[in-house]
Amino acid sequence: EFETCGECAARLHHWVEQHKKYTSEGKCAEYIPALRYANQEALGVCIIGYDGEIIKGGEADIVFTMQSISKVISFMTVCMARGISYTLERTDVEPTGDPYNSIMRLELKKPARPFNPMINAGAITVASFLPGGTKEEKFAALLDTLEKLLGRRPTVNEKVYTSEKKTAHYNFALAHFLKAGGYLECEVEDAIEIYLKQCAIEVTVEDLAKIGLVLACDGFHPLTNKRLLPLEIARLTKAVMLTCGMYNASGKFAAFVGAPSKSGVSGGIMTAVPPRQHKATPFHNGCGIGVYSPAIDEAGNSAAGVKLLQHISTKWELSVF
């Protein structure tokens, strides 16, 4: 039995209200001082389906910074500009089970190729290999990809950027290790600048749902009939999101939500739900989901966001398994 969009929207609204209580199980990231001022209790979601149906719930209009969700965009940009094998020579695609900013594996073997592009080590390497001869050109290449996906050129939150730069000691340490190992194309300072700027790009849950939908459709935009990403790159990216996108909680997330996703410490989560076989469930042709709730758990994932996605996935059978 198909559900109308109206029914789905009402249900989603109800689920958001039910899940707001889980915001108290997390805390806003404080190591980036500017993120401390987010509304701890906010929870917002947007789902966009294959036929363009869109539903929203909760605080869905808040603008927040992408943080680690931007790692998906830089990875795809480098893959598109330089090829998949070139990119994978510079970052592997193996999950670590370590926190996102861990330096441990760069020290175990020297020089060490970063384990995957969804943790900071891999993402700083990827940022340095964005196409272009200068840091400005490299960052512009990343914005070009986002502009294609969103239909607008997004802005950078300068306050978040400068605030993080002052306290980015772990990221600088990672970048120095990577530079010493030959895994940066530019200078440490430039790589950090590009990486932190990409983390400070501003989006809404609707933006995340849009990108998630294109990934769900293997790089194809179902509403404009345009291919925005090559199939192999969309597929590779979804595999990396599923195995590494939620950091050291990726296994549990795959088990209980079961859709390729990427989180950021600002509290955003971007999910791509590919088409599924159960025709009687909403969004069975695939959808993109954006979630925002700034209180994050120990792994750095939105506490209420993960719980809400788990609930939606259970009710509407979103798991790819």
Question: Which residues contact ligand GLN by CB under 6 A?
Answer: 67-68, 100-101, 120, 164, 171, 199, 264-265, 300
177/283 with CB nearer ligand GLN? 177
Q: How far is the CB of 232 from ligand GLN (least distance, A)?
A: 26
Q: Has 170 been labeled as part of a binding site?
A: no
Catalytic residue numbers? 68, 71, 195, 247, 265
- CA dist 93 → 90, 120, 242, 289 (Å): 10, 13, 11, 23
- Check residue 198 and report its DSSP letter: H
Q: Has 187 been labeled as part of a binding site?
A: no
Q: Has 248 been labeled as part of a binding site?
A: no
- Check residue 186 and report its DSSP letter: S
Sign of the Cα torsion 70, 75, 76, 81 reads: positive
And the tokens for 97?
């089970």
Q: Has 247 been labeled as part of a binding site?
A: yes
Q: How far is the CB of 155 from ligand GLN (least distance, A)?
A: 17
8/296 with CB nearer ligand GLN? 296
Q: How far is the CB of 273 from ligand GLN (least distance, A)?
A: 22
Q: How far is the CB of 160 from ligand GLN (least distance, A)?
A: 9
Strands, DSSP E only, in the chain? 44-49, 54-58, 64-65, 202-203, 220-221, 226-227, 261-263, 268-273, 287-292
| SS3 state of residue 150 | helix
- CA dist 72 → 77, 106, 205 (Å): 9, 21, 16
Give the integer Cα–Cα distance in Å for 87 and 113: 11
Q: Has 171 been labeled as part of a binding site?
A: yes
68/128 with CB nearer ligand GLN? 68
155/314 with CB nearer ligand GLN? 155
Residue numbers in the known binding site are: 68, 120, 164, 171, 195, 247, 265
Binding residues for substrate: 68, 120, 164, 171, 195, 247, 265
